[in-house]
Copies of this chain bind each other. A is one copy, B any other.
Amino acid sequence: MVQLVKRLTAEDWERAALDAIASGGLAAVAVEPLARRLGVTKGSFYAHFRDRNELVDATLRRWEEIHVNAFVASMQTTDEPLKRLQALMAMATNAARRGTIQGRLLLESDDPRVRAALKRVTELRLERLEAIFAQLGHSNGAAAHRATAAYAIYIGLLQLAREVPERLVDERALIDELLRVLGQVHA
């Protein structure tokens, strides 16, 4: 017989929470509204999670998995270091425009749970960037500096694309120039 009364799983709640973050940030991960959206009463939520905090944790872990995988994949499309940097920078402004979960989470990073998830993602990216700059001929110390600089630019562009989008119309030229400057073997 077909089961007309659909029963939910923890994963259903996490998926709904991810949607909520994308459109309304962490604050939108609210038990009662999610319950309404899922067609159940809020009481049933506590059959899956101890409290709202546990849902937030589980949802962030889910995002982290998805996100790290996507990043690694996009890096593997080319071996040329400069093209890899270009792809990374392009991701920044696109992410801001599309209003992705990552963009949201950056803005929620005063939350220790969010910061922990972002930190792991950031460290992975910094390692990759360092490798790229080493490939470009930089010494160890210089590669670390350039990697940090490049990632700071990435984060900053994400922010500026929201704040002053007009400034970034010339974005491609801006990024090209930055990469030329950062890519130079210097001392």
A residues whose Cβ falls under 8 Å from a Cβ of B: 25, 27, 104, 106-110, 115, 118-119, 122-123, 126, 141-142, 144-145, 148-149, 151-157, 159-160, 162-164, 167-168, 170, 173-174, 177-178, 180-182, 184, 186
Contact = CB atoms under 8 A, between A and B. Distances in A.
User: How many copies of the polypeptide does the oligomer hold?
Assistant: 2
A168 to B, nearest CB: 7
Given A118-B163, A163-B109, A163-B122, A170 B156 contact: no
B159 A155 contact: yes
A114 to B, nearest CB: 10
Interface of A is mostly: helix
A122 B181 contact: no
A27 to B, nearest CB: 8
B110 A164 contact: no
B160 A153 contact: no
A22 B152 CA distance: 23
A186 to B, nearest CB: 7
B118 A145 contact: no
Contact of A164 (B123, B149, B170): B123
Contact of A145 (B148, B157, B170, B182): B170
